[in-house]
Structure 1
Amino acid sequence: MRTIALSLLTGAALTMAPPLAPPAAAQNIEDIITGAAQSLIAQELDKNAYIAAQNTNTISAYRDYLERFPNGVYRGNAERAIARLGGNVKPTEPAPTDSAAAVEASLGLSRAQRVKIQQQLTTLGYPTGGADGLWGRNTRNAITKWQTANKVTATGYVTGQQVRLIGQQAGAAPAPVPGDEGADYQLEERLLGLTTSERREVQRRLTTLGYNTFGADGVFGRNTRRALADWQRDAGERPTGYITADQLRALRQQS
C-alpha cells in the first residue's frame, strides 16, 4: 500500500512540474541567422555605394557616400578622395550657397579637370606655377587675372560657364612661338574682347593725351598701334602697341 501511494505522488509531481526550456542555442538560432544576413546585406550595400562614388569620382559623390554610410568600411578612403579632389571633408560651417567658392565646389571638378584648367590658363598667358591639380595662391591669382581680362567678377573661383570659356579660348589660341614675346600681348588684348565703342574710346583718350591716332573709328591700325606704343614707352611700360587690362584702366585714369 505504501509503495502504491509513493508512486502516485511521484507521478503527480512530475505532471505538475513546468516543461523544460529548450536549449539556449536552439532558442536563438533564428535571431543569429537573421542578424548575420542583415550584416552581409549592409556590407554589400556599403561596398556598392563606395564603388559608385569611385566611378563618378567627384566630391559630391564621395560626400553622398559618407552621408549614407557615416561609419562605413570605406569612410577613410572616401575622406582621402575628397581631400585629393580639393574639397573639405569636414567643413566647419556650410558655405553660403551663393558664394563664389560654393559655386565652384558644386561643380565637383576632378583632379584631372583641375590640371587641365591650369594648363589652359597657362596657355592663355596666365601662369599657374604648375599643373598639379592643387589650386593654391598662384592658380587663384591666374583665375583672377583671367576674370578681370574677360570683364567678369574677379573672385579667383570659376563657374561652369567660365570653365567652358577658358577651354574655348585655350583651344582657339595659337601656339606660342619661342622668343616671340609680342604674341602674349596680342593674345591678352584679344581676350579683353573690346567692343568697337571701347576701341574708339581708347583712340580718343590717346589723342587727348597727345598721342594722335588720326581718327577714332574703332579699328586699331598702324597709327593707333604707334600711338599706343608711344604712350606705353612714356609710361614706363613695354612698347608693344597692344593694350592690356591694367593699361586700359591706367589710360582711363590719366585722361
Structure 2
Amino acid sequence: MVRRMISAALAATLLSAPVQAQDVGEIVGGIARQYLEQEQDRAAFSQAQQTNTLSAYQSYLRQFPKGAYAEQARERVRRLGGTVSTPNTQAGAASLTADQRVAVQRRLNALGYSTNGLDGNFGPGTRRAISLWQRDRNYPQTGALTRAQATEILQGRAPAAGGSSSNAGAGSGGSAAQAEAVLNLSREQRRAVQAGLTRRGFDTRGVDGSFGRGTRNAIAAWQQANDLTATGYLTANQFERLTSR
C-alpha cells in the first residue's frame, strides 16, 4: 500500500515539473520519509487509543505535537482531566549546531534508534528515536534532549547493563559502543543478533532490529556467560558468533 502511494506521489511530482535525473533519488527519499513519519504518527496514536490513558495520550503529544491526530489527543487529555501543553521539542538541543544535530542523529541510528534521516532537523522521526533512547535509560520520555543528554549521545557513553546511565566505567562503555557503531549493523543484521541470542536462551524482548534495553541486557548476559567483558555492546567477533548457526 505504502509502495503504491509513494509511486503515485513520485509520478505526480515528475509530471508537475521537469527534474534532473540526479534529483530523483532525493525526491524518492523525501517522499518515503514523509510516508514513514505519517505511518509512525498513525501507529503511535493507535497505540494511545488502545491504552486510552492520560499518560498514553500525553506521550503521543510529546512525540507528535503537530501530528495528524494531535487535536484528537488533546481533546482526550482534556476529557481525562489532564492539562494540555505543547513542549518545545527543539528546546533541549537549541544550542546544538547543525553539524552536532546530524551527529546526534547518526549516533542514535548507530545505537539502533532510527531517526528517518540525517538532515539535522529534529522532526517526528528523530523525536521518536530520542524518546526511545530516553526510555531505555530511564529518563523521562520527552522526545527532547537536555544539553546533558545530547552530550551523552555525542560522547558515546553507554548505559550500565541494568539499563540506567552511570558515570562509572563510562569511558570503557563508550569505547564498546563506538566499536559496535563502526560495524554499522543493518536492521536485518540486528534481527539476526536478537534471534541468535533468543536461540541461546537470552531474552531480547523482541526480534525487531532495535537494540533497546532488553537486547543490551541480553548481550551483556550472554557475554558474562561466555567469560567476556559484559559491556552490552558487540565486537565483530561476537557478532559472528551470535549470527552463526
Q: Bigger relative contact order, structure 1 or 2, given CA contacts below 8 A and separation 6+?
A: 2
Structure with higher Rg: it is: 1
TM range (shorter): 0.3 to 0.5
* TM-score, length of structure 1 as denominator length: 0.33
